[in-house]
Structure 1
Amino acid sequence: MKRSSKPIYFDVKLLATTRQGKEDKAEIELLDALVRYDRSVEVLRTAYSGVLLIRTALRPEDALRAMKSMEMAYVEHIFPIHEVVVADLKALREACLKLAKEIGLRPGLKFAVRCRRRGRAIRSSVEVERALGQAIREATGAEVDLEEPDVVFRIEVIGDMAGICLLWESRHT
């Protein structure tokens, strides 16, 4: 059997978190918010309590806007996923550099890398943050600023996959 190089969740657009044990109710909230815009929307469970992935035909920003237009009692956080890769440093570096180029990250702009690790595919969140921060800085000339970045590269590692989310300063929630 040939193994695909794409992670199983390669096409998810959002990551949502909820309290452990509230996944069913959070799933209903997520579906309620998105089904009017995309009838094919799916909420996927992960092996990690409180972590849900959303597969939709909508762009991540449009799906996020739809989510934020509704009051949520069970969904705690929602992050747009701009890229999904296997959870290894090389794949993460390539994807982050591609995204940095796409958004026009350059000298004069500030960025930060934040990593949330679930599972053991990546040894250390801090190691990921430092390695990716250095690679992005060297490739773009942008400045690392952990206090007041213009953009945050948020890395969500879930088992053997990683979702990369770009958060602009005005979008921080």
Structure 2
Amino acid sequence: MSECNLVIVKTELGAERIAASRIRDLDPLAKVEAAPRGLRGMVLVEPGGLSKDELARLIEERVPEAGRVIQVDACVKAELDEMARVAAELAKTRISASETFAVRTTRRGRHPYTSIDVNVVVGDAVRKATGATVNLTRPDKVVLVEIIQDEALIAIVPGSLFHRKMGPGKYPLYKLYRKISLVQMPYLGPLDACRNMGVRIGREVQNFEVAELVIAPDGPVDALQLKTFIEGVLEGIESRYEVQRKSYGREARRVPVLVQDIYQLVRERHGREPIIVLEPEGEPVTRAAWKLYEMFRNARRVSVLVGSRRGIPLGIYRFADLVIDIAPGITLSTDYAAAAALIAIGTVVHDLFARENQHS
């Protein structure tokens, strides 16, 4: 096994040279290569006057441009058998049988195998050598394989180095939002304003992936203004959906859009499912946490009514199960109201659902 006196520093794209300059200040004798072989987002460091441990610690403490700082344990040829053999040898003293591990490979260059192939072959070798169990979600240790063309840099690091978006104690709020029928009064007025406001609202509702968006006028409205608003909504939903579809690690869901008179909607749903009105006359949302939790826990759908240039008609309050104020003393603009409401509701009930999720 060939030991490596190297530190890999991962950066945001474009921050490589700044990070490299900061590192040279910490260890003037170090060999520092920003974007090695043209690979952006990486700095390779060979310590000079400092030890590898000491320089890595200083980089973490003093270089904010450094995202992850990884001390390399071994350098080998980028061949499957060789990577598996060396990783297993390292793991014997670094991973115990009672721990869990995962293999993560970043491959740069052309090779007769994929990153998944490396994960499988190296993972099997490490498992056999240690008796440890594979855990792809929250491993105790991670075997990193950084392949740079014909060379592989291998490191074994704590699993905590990789922060997961959905760690323990968190509840995935999209499950909550998929119960919400967001009832939005349309924004009407100048056509350019109608369209722009529609786009913003469409992106907001798609961002949260609510069960549906109901555009709900409270009486006769100008047809062209309503048409323009709806076109903006559909455009906003589609643009955000395309981003989600490409970037999410789960399947995104496009929000359907309906149109219904708000009075008819309330008549139809009153007594059959919870109705929430968002208006300043209501109680602060923080005081309604338990009521909201019970509503979402027991109902298949919850209607959340949001006003526009005019608020929700006063008579509807009598038919609402809950009237809440999400920002006392502040009048929210139409393009922020829906997003603010969804964030506020999710925030106040999150811990209650997370606690229930842990015990289920």
TM-score normalised by length of structure 2: 0.41
Map 1:53-64; keep pairs closer than 5 Å.
53-57=44-48, 58-64=50-56
> Structure 2 CA distance, aligned partners of 1:153 and 1:41?
26
For 2:40 and 2:160, how far apart are their aligned partners in 1?
Answer: 29
**Match among 74, 77, 86 for residue 86 of structure 1:** 77
Q: CA deviation at 1:109?
A: 1.4
Larger radius of gyration: 2
1:126-137 → structure 2 map (5 Å cutoff): 126-137=116-127
Mark the CA change 1:171 to 1:59 in structure 2 (over 3 Å): closer, same or farther.
farther
Task: Tell me the amino acid that sits aligned with residue 61 of structure 2.
Answer: S
Deviation digits for residues 1-51 of structure 1, max 9, x if unmatched? xxxxx7xxx744211123444332121022223x1xxx4211024111232
Partners of 2:140 and 2:11 lie apart in 1 by: 27
- More divergent stretch after superposition (119-128 vs 88-97): 119-128
Higher RCO, Cα 8 Å, sep 6+: 1
User: Judging changes above 3 Å, is the alpha-carbon distance between structure 1 residues 86 and 118 closer, same or farther for their aligned structure 2 residues?
Assistant: same
Unaligned runs of 5+ in 2: 164-360
Asked if residue 51 in structure 1 is aligned to residue 42 in structure 2, the reply is yes
1:123 is paired with a residue whose SS is: coil
Same amino acid, percent of matched pairs: 28
SS of 1:43's equivalent? strand
Quickly say closer, same or farther: Cα 1:148–1:18, change in 2 above 3 A: closer
Which residue of the other structure, out of 2, 20, 30, is the alignment partner of 1:41?
30
- Structure having the higher helix fraction is 2
Q: Deviations over 1:102-131 (max 9, x none)?
A: 22x332211110101111135211110011
Aligned to 1:149: 139
Match of 2:175 in 1: none
Q: Does 1:67 align with 2:62?
A: no
Structure 1 residue ranges without an equivalent (≥5): 1-5
Match of 2:11 in 1: 18
The structure whose residues are more often strand, as a share, is 1
What CA distance in whole angstroms lies between the structure 2 residues aligned with 1:91 and 1:166?
Answer: 16
Provide the residue aligned with 2:92 in structure 1: 101
Residue aligning to 2:149: 159
Using the TM superposition, give the Cα deviation of residue 75 of structure 1 relative to its aligned residue in structure 2, in angstroms. 2.9
Alignment match, 1:140: 130
Structure 1 residues 54 and 131: alpha-carbon distance in aligned structure 2, compared to 1, 3 A threshold: same
Q: 1:171 to 1:75 in 2, by over 3 A?
A: closer
Q: Distance in 1 between matches of 2:57 and 2:7?
A: 11
- Count of equivalent residues: 159
